[in-house]
Structure formats: structure tokens, C-alpha cells
Structure 1
Amino acid sequence: MSRYPESVDVAIVGSGPTGAAYARILSEQVPRARVAMFEVGPTVSDPPGAHVKNIEDAEARAAAQRRSEGPGAGEATVDNPGAVKSGERRARPGTFLLSDGYRVDDEDGLPVAAFSSNVGGMAAHWTGACPRPGGSERIAFLPDMDELLDEADRLLGVTTDAFDAAPFTALVRERLAAVVDDGREPAAQVQRMPLAVRRREDGRLVWSGADVVLGDVTRGNPNFSLHDESLVTRVLVEDGRAAGVSVRDLRTGDVHEVRARFVVVAADALRTPQVLWASGIRPEALGRMLNDQTQVVYAARLRDVGPAAAAQVAASGALSEQSGVSWVPFTDEVPFHGQIMQLDASPVPLADDDPVIPGSIVGLGLFCAKDLQWEDRVEFTDQPDPYGMPAMRLRYTLTDRDRAVLERAREEIVRLAKAVGEPLGDRPFTMPLGASLHYQGTTRMGEVDDGRSVCGPDCEVWDVSGLFVAGNGVIPTATACNPTLTSVALAVRGARTIARKLSFV
């Protein structure tokens, strides 16, 4: 017998934060609705979708990461910027690279475009940063954007006080603010980074994954089911309306059809257009306006700090208990977003007689907004990828404006490094394109159906009623800030639309 239901009210493709947001809102607002979620990768954590950093045993955590690497499992990975400098194309643990088609001759491409395949998606591996968009990052035609962002904060469990006790966090912010804040609106001044994290009673940090978005209400919903190792190969369309999905059980190879009143494709910004393309759903804007964030990184050693302040604080997880995480917001005048946090060790070898005070080495990262271009896109070929889906080819080029902004970011990050301490290394390092993992725009939202967008303001695909898209690909603006909070906010809007329609069925 099939492990899948014959029919449901809503089929969700993908188990990351946005797919989880649809399941959560539907469980809260229409709990009688039957909802099935399909994920191509395995379950690697308990509860399903939890962040792997919450796995305390190092060997178990590494095993969960390997199981998330899909067709890249077993290949060498790297998890620090220093190793990237060698020029090797390596994915970070828990992810796998696009093996081919990542660059076309005479274009820049996205050489380290990466994916994860596991319940929870990339949210099982992310840094948890949830800044709000500002200026031109915001979607001007959505009047309820702030309320949607508030709801996304709730679903992701966003806080700003998790590192308030860190001894160096106020010092880092003060030094940054001294060179950044002048002339900025309060909302754009240096501040704590909003993070999807909470602190347990025993003091340990718990990072939010899709499990937090799903919440107890979804896990306890008898009408919700989660199916891992299940590849949705296409959306079924009848008479211009979504009618279900075709699913291949990766455990057995069997193919099943699951009928549905509504279908949500939330399979990341590259695989969501892939599913639509494979389904014959090919609006002109599909895959277009692909954009990522170029990323510049540097490091500095905090000056004038002693060991006493940090002696009683132990590091936990990938981010610092000593210097916290600070945020330099994007503005239209300074078009990059800054994230400043501790590095576990100096990227530059220090003398043996020059010991490192815990928390005193901070990493600085600036993310640049892309100059949006219609020709930047993901295309699909007749060749199969490792899952048997249409193989991808990325068309991607930096403009003169992109290069000018990137040069400004290099200059700015040196200025910020000097403000907080002593810069380490001769110059900042520009990460390979695709390293931010913040791919956007490929199923972009539009206010009207003018051929330049895939879906409307409620995330419903223009030409196929009942079909919704979710994820970073829906964001229509050029952003420099981490996109997860925005994409979850947009998923809330779409989920509420389905909930309203189901309430009348």
C-alpha cells in the first residue's frame, strides 16, 4: 500500500521555513483541512526539521549534515572562508553544489550555488539571522508588510536579546555606531541582529529550524502529514487549475498521484521553478531576475580588551557567546547589509606568544544588493539532474553597478574593521558568487500580471489558480539583508489566502 494519501486539501512541496509556515497557518486557521507535506530529503533530526546545531553530540551532528547533502554526500566539504581562498569548489557541511551548469562561458555564473536535501531544508543549517528589509528592499505594493513581518517573527521565534549577557557585544556595537550611525534614521542604525534563537533554562542556545515554524499545533494536527524521501516530479493541472502532485517514493521508486485542491511549491529558489518547468507551467518570468548577494568578509581583533570579561562565558554553537551578533542595516545610500560576529579562531596565524582572548576575533561580513536583470536566470535542459529532474543552467552576470557597489563594500568593511579593532590580513576577501545561499527572484511576485512576475500579491501563480509558490524566489526586490524573514512573511500572506478559500469549501 502507498504511504501517501489519495487526496488532501493542500499539498506542500518542500519542508523549509516557508513550506512550514503554510502548514502552521493552515493548522491554526483551518485545522480540519487535510495537509500533506513532501520533502525530497530524509529526516535528520528529532523533532523533524530541527537545526542541526542543536544536536549536542558532534558525531551525530556530522552524520545529520552528511545525510542532508543529497547527491553530494561523501564529497569533501568546507565550513570556513579561509579554505575557500584555495579556489576549490566545496560546499559547506549539510549542503551540496550544483555539479554542472553553474556558469556559462563569458558570464560570472554562481560557481558555489548550493542546496540541501533534508526535512527542514536550509533552515537546518542557517545562521538564524532575521533582519527586516529597509528602503528599496521593501515590497511597496504590500500595505500589510509590517504586520506580516511581525507574524514571521512569531513563527520563527525571533529575538534580539539572546546575547545581551555577552561581555563584548555592547563594545562592538558602540565602536561600529561611532562610524556608522551619523545621519541615519534610528531604524537604520547599528543594533542587535534579530536572530531565530532562544535560550534554555540551563543557558544553552536553541536555534530555530522549520520545527519551530511548524510548532506543536502542526505536529499535533491529525490532519497534517509529513512525507520525507518523496520527490514531487510535477504539479497536476486540469482546466487551468492545480489538481494535485505526482510523487516518486525514493524508498521504493514507485510513483503516485496525490489529488489536492491547492498546491504550494516551496522547494527553494532554484528547485521551485524546476518543478513548475517540469510540470509544463512556464510563464515568461519563470526563472528570471535570478539574484544573489555578493559577499565580502574580513576579520579584526578587538583592541583594549582583557581576558577577565570573557573568562566565565563558554562558546555555544556557531555564533559567539562573547561578542554577540551586531547588525549594520542596508540603506539605499549605503547598499549593503552588515553582519558582525565572533570567529572561532583568527583567520591569520598569530604568534605563539600572542594568545587569543575568547571572543576577541570578530568576523565582518557585508552583503551587497544585486542590480536586477531580466537575463539573469535559471534555465532548464533536456538532460536529467541526479534526481531525474530537468538539469539547471545558471545565467548570471554582474553589472558595472554591481562591481562598483562591491568595491564600495570592500572599502567600507576595512573602515568597520579598523573601527572595532585591528584588521587581520592584508585585505578583505570576496566570497565566490553563490556563497550567500540567498538566491531570489525566480518566481517573483508582482502587483499586476504584466509578464514580469510569476505570482500575484497572494503568491498564487497568475495562470494556474490554486497553485502557490513560496520561498526566497518570490521576493521581487533587490535585497542585501538575509531574506528568510521576508519569505516567511510572504508565505503567511499566501497561507491566509488558502485558509480563506478553504473555509468556504
Structure 2
Amino acid sequence: MTPADPQTGDSMSRTFPDRVDVAIVGSGPCGAAYARVLSEQCPGARIATFEVGPLLADPPGVHVKNIVDDEERARAQRRSEGPQPLADDTPTDTMEGYADAAPRLVRPGTFLLPTGWQQPGEDGLPGAAMSANVGGMGAHWTGACPRPGDSERIGFLPDLDELLAEGERLLAVDTHAFDDAPFAAEVRKRLGDALDATRAEDRRVGPMPLAVQRQADGRVTWSGADVVFGDVTRANPDFSLVPEALVTEVLVTEGRATGVRVRDLQTGEEHVVSARAVVVAADALRTPQLLWASGVRPPALGRYLNDQPQTVFAVRLRDVGHARTEDVDPRDEPEIVPQSGVSWVPFTDAEPFHGQVMQLDASPVPLAADDVPTPGTIVGLGWFCAKDLQESDRVDFDATEVDGYGMPAMRVHYRLTERDHASIAAARETVQQVARALGDPLGDEPLTFPPGASLHYQGTTRMGATDDGTSVCGPTSQVWGVDGLYVAGNGVIPTATACNPTLTSVALAVAGARDIARTLTEEEK
């Protein structure tokens, strides 16, 4: 696979194959996981990945925070923002708006669902947003990869732990990348003193597992889909990646996926690509959109939509002194620096929320002009709640209206239940308790973001143990009733989770890729 020039936007390949063994829709971490596992287990299988967005940088799928040049990084973020990018002067810092009470939070590198995000009398998903670029949201995410616990786990998957371990391999997850960050040990001690007394050993406060890589020169960089693709995929002569290629239909014949219809967004030309298997890894909103547009409409499609209600607060550590100057990277660059400690408060059934505790490079709330905090002493507290799952929470599609890509327009139905409000209230109380244990809160009250702001949408193509009408796919992610059609991404997760979902989604993608590899191998015999 030969990368394109990201400066000119020329695509990696404008050759649309007539026939492949596996067609993958979407190049985020889960689509990349399918390409990687198939490249490893099925040498010689022809694989093509189609991505609606452009190539941002080399290697394909790189995380934008690894782009050091400010202008180049901003250009990459603008090019990720779909049909209507943000203004050129929009801040590129993904922490921008951390303490913003805006009703529709906009993050660099993403674009909001422009219409249909709320129906009369409902809460809706004001924060519903997506990315369109090679690497998907994996080019913009925070890299947090905690394992699910308690009721977050998928009980009907006996090999879940092995799949999670494989997901950690593909994402290059490191639990100890920042063990030496200034004050990180003290932050975890104070968190543990406040929270661990009633927790099982595997659910106690610890360092956050992060998808990051420590380079030979000591820098730490973020894992994007480029890391998941890996050298084996990039070196695979039978793998191709076509950016700016919109898949408008999955072709289904007599109950079997037989290929995809693709529109070249550079020329407007349409191509039909035959395939023995099709993987739709477009995200939890656009994957059900494509299935619906293709006439694949199982009863649960788009239903059980869930997000993770998110509460944030900030605090300044007290009584910690000063970090050694050699521990602090003085450069004002987007890469991870030594004071970027991230701690984890795991989900439990008794406390159904998950905490992501970040030592920030700067305060997310305004400080006095002469107030310059010691690096690592400003701590951001982000608490995510598990949603009360409801079949009625869903994304529907409109056959008479289209979105900016010409696909069926989305209509979100979404309500927070009394149980959700109770979880949010409990999370707010815990955040305040934690803030007091750590130091001096910055601000009077925690901020609860509008629904959708977590960007952790799940459930719309959910997995099930049996085809009972409450799920879209089976344990290998193959869609019920359509042989050779697989779904991937956060939408496949069937449980109510509060932890960051990417690791779980990649783990489920591993199982699906293995199933395709097994099928292709058996068919060759």
C-alpha cells in the first residue's frame, strides 16, 4: 500500500477493484483491526478498505496529536470535519471546551449531526458528532483503553479476556507509560484513600491503560488506526485503502452479502465491488444508516442507542510542592508530555460510573493572569455514567431526506430516565468528593455535558447470543440472516458501559476477523 501526499490530498489509491475477498467500510480502529487480523491470518486474501473521508497524514490513520506543526495539525482537523468544516481560526486543542457549558459542544476534528438530533419532548443527543477521515475517530481520541468490569462485560463471550488482550496488542496499550509523571503517584494515593475501601482488588484506582507508544528518543505518541494497521497490513500487497470513497449500499443477494456500491467523491463515479465478505465499521450512527439504506433492517437496527452521560470538574492539587524541572517538557507542543499522568477509577455495579482523571498541561477554567500553576497540579476529573438501556432510544432514518453525503437523514430519539438522572447525581456527588480529597476545586459545581458529548455511542448494531429480535448480530459480529455481512465499532457493544469503549470494540472486531479468516480458509480447501 503506497500512501498519498497528505498535503495535496491525493488519495492513496484511486483504483477501485472489481472484486475482493473482503470489503471493509471505514478505516477507524475497528476497520483497521479487521484489515490487520486478516493480513496476519489470511495471506493472499484480497482486502479493500473504503473511507468516506480524506487521508490526513502519513502513515495513514496517524493520530493528529502526533502532528507537531500547528498549521499542519489544524489542516488535518479541518479536513476531518465532514461536509462543512469549522472555521480556519477554530482552536486545535481537543481540551478546548472542557469546562464549557455550551448546549452543543464542538470538538476539533469532529462535526455535529446538523439536524434530527432531538425530537419534540425528548432529550435528544445535542452532542452527537462524527469524524470523516482515514483513521476515523481514532485520529482524535484520548487513547483511554480500560477493560470493562462487572455488568459492563459481555457474559455470553467466554473468550472475552483473550479478545481484550489481543485488542491491547493491536492498540499498543501501555498501563505504565506515565508512572513517573510528576504527582501521579500522589494523585492515585489520594483517589484510592477516598474510593478504594469498598472495591474489589481489580476495581481499585490505578493508572489508566492508554494506547500510546514510547519512541526511541523518549517521546510518547498516541496510537491511531495507523498503529492498529501495523506494518503487516501496510506491507500487504493484497490490501488497498481508498479514501474519499463513499459506500452507498451493501449488495445482498439471496441472504448473502455479495459486495458494495461505492461513489468516488473525487469524480462522482460509482463502482460496484464484488466481495465474499463485507464489514461495515462506519461508527454507531453511520453503520446502521448504511445497513438501512441497503435494505438490511433487522428489528433491533438503530435501537438501544446509548451514550455515556458525562460530568467534569477541575481541581488544583494542594500540598504537593514543585516538580523537578527536568521532569517537565517545556515545549508547547501537542504531544504527550511527562506531566500528562492519567489515572483510572473503574466502573462497579455499586458505583455505575467510570472516572478518567487527567493531569492537564493547563487549567481548563480561567485563572487569574498572574496565576501560573506548577505543571501536573491541575487535574481534570471526567466521570462517565452507564446509560439505562431502552429499546426506544434509537436512530431512525428518513427515506425522503438526505444528509450532506446524500445518505438517508438521521432522526435521533433519546431520553434520560429517572435512573439516568440518579446516576448523574451520584457521579456529581462523587466528583465533588474526589475533588475535595485531591485539593482545591476550580469552580463551584461540576459541569454535566449535554447528551452525546462523550462521543461514546453504542448499541445500534448490538451483539446478541441468539437471534431473538433484540440484537443485530451474533457473537462473531455477523449480521443475523445475512451471511458474510459483519458490523464493527462501538455500536456492537450490547451492555451498558461507562468505560471508554474502543478496546472492547476492537476486541469484538478481532473475533469477527477471525471468523472471516476461518471461513475464507475453509472455502479454499
Q: Tell me if 1:446 matches 2:461.
A: no
The alpha-carbon deviation at position 199 of structure 1 amounts to 1.2
- What RMSD, in angstroms, separates the aligned Cα atoms of the two structures? 1.6
Question: Unpaired segments of 5 or more residues in structure 1?
Answer: none
Query: Which residue, 218, 221, 244 being the options, matches 2:233?
Result: 218
Indicate whether 1:497 and 2:515 are aligned. Answer: yes
Which of 405, 423, 446 is the equivalent residue of 2:423?
405
Residue 88 of structure 1 deviates from its aligned partner by 5.2
2:68/2:334 contact within 8 Å kept = no
CA contact (8 A) 2:127 2:452 kept: yes
- Equivalent residue for 1:168? 183
- For residues 90 and 403 of structure 2, the distance between their equivalents in structure 1, rounded to whole angstroms, comes to 21
Q: 2:222 aligns with which of 199, 202, 207?
A: 207
Mark the CA change 1:139 to 1:392 in structure 2 (over 3 Å): closer, same or farther. Answer: same
Alpha carbons of structure 1 residues 30 and 375: separation in structure 2 relative to 1, 3 Å: same
Q: Distance in 1 between matches of 2:385 and 2:426?
A: 10
Match of residue 260, structure 2, among 245, 258, 279: 245
2:396 is equivalent to residue 379 of structure 1: yes
Check whether the contact 1:337–1:367 (CA below 8 A) recurs between aligned residues: yes
Q: 1:356 aligns with which of 359, 369, 373?
A: 373
Q: Are 1:324 and 2:341 matched, yes or no? A: yes
- State the shift of 1:308 in Å: 4.0
Aligned to 2:5: none
Partner amino acid, structure 2, of 1:23 = A
Name which of 36, 51, 55 aligns with 1:39: 51
**2:21 maps to amino acid:** D
Q: 1:263 aligns with which of 268, 278, 303?
A: 278
Match of 2:361 in 1: 344
Letter in 2 for 1:325: V
1:52 corresponds to which of 55, 61, 64: 64
Change (3 A) 1:6 1:353: closer
Match of 1:151 among 166, 180, 187: 166
Structure 1 Cα separation of the partners of residues 285 and 335 of structure 2: 27
Bigger CA drift: 438-447 or 344-353? Answer: 344-353
Offset at residue 365 of structure 1 (A) = 0.5
2:182·2:323 contact (CA, 8 Å) conserved in 1?
no
User: What letter is aligned with 1:362?
Assistant: V
How far apart in 1 are the matches of 2:106 and 2:365?
22
Aligned-pair distance for 1:463?
1.2
Partner deviation per Cα, 1:319-366 (whole Å, 9 max, x = no partner): 562250000000000000000012332244334454311111100000
Among all aligned residue pairs of Structure 1 and Structure 2, give the percentage whose two residues are the same amino acid: 66
- Structure 1 residues 320 and 369, CA gap change in structure 2 (3 angstroms): farther
- Contact 1:167–1:310 (8 Å) recurs in 2: no
Taking structure 2 as the reference length, what is the TM-score of the superposition?
0.94
Task: State the one-letter code of the partner of 2:43.
Answer: P
Structure 2, unmatched stretches of 5+, are 1-12
2:6 aligns with: none
Residue-pair matches, total? 505
CA contact (8 A) 1:156 1:208 kept: yes
Kept after mapping to 2: 8 A contact 1:17/1:120: yes
Asked if 1 retains the 8 angstrom alpha-carbon contact of 2:97 and 2:105, the reply is no
Counterpart selection for 1:134 from 145, 149, 168? 149
Preserved contact between residue 310 and residue 359 of structure 1 (Cα < 8 Å): no
Preserved CA contact (<8 Å) 2:103 2:126? no
| Residues 290-309 of structure 1 deviation map (CA, whole Å, 9 limit, x = unaligned) | 00000000000000122343
Find the counterpart in structure 1 of residue 290 from structure 2.
275
- Name the stretch that deviates more: 338-347 or 56-65: 338-347
| Larger CA deviation: 234-243 vs 65-74 | 65-74
- Verify the 8 A CA contact 2:82 2:131 in the aligned structure 1: yes
Q: Which amino acid aligns with 1:102?
A: W
Question: Conserved in 2, the CA contact under 8 Å of 1:310 and 1:322?
Answer: no
- Return the match for 1:415 from 409, 433, 436: 433
